[in-house]
Amino acid sequence: MPSLPHLTAQEREAIRQACGFACVRCGVTIYRYLGLPADARDPGGATLLCPTCHGLVEEGRLTPGQVNSFHANPVVRQRHFARDRLPFSSEMPQLIVGGSRLLRDTPIPLTVEGEPLLIFAPPRRSQGATRISVRLGAPDGTPVQIVDGNEWLPDDGSWHFLLRGDRYSIMASRGDGLAVLRIVARNRIAVEHLRTTIRGRRIEITPDWMEIDGKRYIDRIGSGTLIGLEV
C-alpha cells in the first residue's frame, strides 16, 4: 500500500475522522496514512493502519479486499470495541513517570539537549485519541522522530511497533533504544520503560525513577508545566 506523504492537513483530518482516529483493523492509535488498494469502492481513498497491520498487508497476509472491508467498517466504530484499553480521551493524559507523583498538564515530561523525547496532547476535537509523539536516538545518537502526532514515520524497518496487552512498545532494530507506554486508563499513561542514548546522553526512565548518564533521580520531573525537566 502506498504511503501518502503529500496529504494536506484537511485531508489528514478527514481520513482520521473516517477511520475513527485509529488503525481500521485493530484500533491502535499509532498509524500510517496509506492509499487504499485499487479495487476499493472509494478509488483514490486513504485509510489508517498501524505498523503491525500494515506489515501484514506487505507480507500478503491481509488481502486488498480485507483492507477495504476494514476501512468500510473501522473496528473502533463497532459496538464490541473496548475503547478504554487504548488512549481515546478528550483530555490531557495524566502521566506516571520517574517517581511517585502523578504528572498533570505536562505535555513534554523531559527534554534532553533540547530534544523532546515524548510529547502528549489532547485530540484536536473533543473526540479522538491522545496525540503522542516519540523522539529517540538512532544507533549513532542522532535524534529520530519515530512518531509525530500519532503518525508512525519510520519506513525503513529501523524501528518496530508492537501492541502487547495495554502497552505500546517501540523498539529499535539495532541498539537497545525503546519506549514502552502503558495505557493504565483512557486518560492515564505510564512510561513503563524508556531507554535511549541521544546526543551522547544516556537516558533510562521507568514509572518509579529515571537515570541520566548513570545517575538516578526520583520525582525530578515538574508537573503542570510545558516541559517537566530539561537536561
Positions in the binding site for Zn ion (CB under 5 A) = 23, 25-26, 28, 50, 53
Residue nearer to Zn ion on the CB measure, 15 or 117:
15
CB of 213 to Zn ion, least distance (A): 37
CB of 97 to Zn ion, least distance (A): 26
Residue nearer to Zn ion on the CB measure, 78 or 142:
78
Cell numbers representing residue 30 in the block: 499509532
Residue nearer to Zn ion on the CB measure, 49 or 136:
49
Residue nearer to Zn ion on the CB measure, 57 or 117:
57
CB of 31 to Zn ion, least distance (A): 7
CB of 23 to Zn ion, least distance (A): 3
CB of 53 to Zn ion, least distance (A): 3
User: In 3D, which of 212, 201, 45 has the Cα closest to residue 113?
Assistant: 201
Residue nearer to Zn ion on the CB measure, 76 or 203:
76
Residue nearer to Zn ion on the CB measure, 51 or 228:
51
* Cβ pair 201, 113 in contact under 8 A: yes
CB of 216 to Zn ion, least distance (A): 36
- DSSP class per residue in the chain: --B-TT--HHHHHHHHHHHTSS-TTT--S-BEEEEPPTT-SSTT-EEEE-HHHHHHHHTTSS-HHHHHHHHHS-GGGSTT--GGGTT--SSPPEEE-SSSSEE-S-SBS-EETTEESEEEE--SSSSS--EEEEEEE-TTS-EEEEEETTEE---SSSEEEEEETTEEEEEESSSS-EEEEEEEETTEEEEEEEEEEETTEEEEE-SS-EEETTEEESS-S-SSSSBS-B-
